[in-house]
Homo-oligomer: A and B are copies of this chain.
Amino acid sequence: MIAATQSNHPLATVSDPVPAVSAMNEARARIRLAGLRITKPRLAIIDALLRRHGPSSTEHIHQEMGARRCDMVTVYRCLAAFEQLGMVRRSYLHNGTCLYELTLGAAARHYHIVCKACGSPERVDYLPVKGIEQLLQDRGYTEVSHVVEFFGICPKCQPATARGVSVTVPADLRA
């Protein structure tokens, strides 16, 4: 699929949930447990995600890999694999682009509101979806999952968009 047109969006760095070392060990364990192999690109991708502490674009991950950089195709495939393992969760941007976020530790499910102007995500703690999933299982569905995304114009971007000014993003925040 062509997942979405990509504009690069700056990302807000959010709070730190788990010490990086144990998180990395947990990641290795989960990969191994699933019968997958621990490879340099995979470790580098997890490392990049850990350093960001929040949703990252594929591009950002790729750049963040530095010397251990691998093919873009590998990034996509690894993230897809991680997602199936439940190690990574996707957020969808308003334009269809995706961001990826590690879900290690006992991190509770949370959602994001993404600014339609600058693309920065912010956490939304909110949970009343579990009941619906149960209801759907009662309907006969299995492997039930869901996607919830909120979109809006964040306070910072409001004067700008109101004046019709295009919001430009500092280059160092991109990807």
A92-108 vs B: 1/0 string, CB under 8 Å? 11011110000000000
A142 at the interface (CB under 8 A from B): yes
Interface size range of chain A in the complex: 35 or more
What CA separation (Å) do A157 and B23 show in the bound complex? 36
Are B153 and A136 neighbours in the complex by a CB distance under 8 Å?
A: no
Are B144 and A150 neighbours in the complex by a CB distance under 8 Å?
A: yes
Are A113 and B126 neighbours in the complex by a CB distance under 8 Å?
A: no
Taking the closest CB of chain B, its distance from the CB of A62, in whole angstroms, is 15
Within 8 A of B (CB), among A104-127: 113, 115-116, 124, 126
Taking the closest CB of chain B, its distance from the CB of A110, in whole angstroms, is 12
Give every chain B residue within 8 A of A158 (Cβ-Cβ). Answer: 140, 142
Chain B residue at smallest Cβ distance from A141: B152
Question: Contact partner of A146 among B136, B137, B149, CB < 8 A?
Answer: B149
A8-24 vs B: 1/0 string, CB under 8 Å? 00000000000000000
Are B1 and A4 neighbours in the complex by a CB distance under 8 Å?
A: yes
Give every chain B residue within 8 A of A93 (Cβ-Cβ). Answer: 1
Chain B residue at smallest Cβ distance from A2: B2
Taking the closest CB of chain B, its distance from the CB of A152, in whole angstroms, is 4
Are A1 and B92 neighbours in the complex by a CB distance under 8 Å?
A: no
A-B contact pairs, 9 of them (CB 8 A): A1-B96, A2-B3, A3-B95, A96-B98, A124-B132, A133-B150, A136-B150, A147-B150, A147-B151
Closest 3 CB pairs of A and B: A1-B5, A141-B152, A140-B155
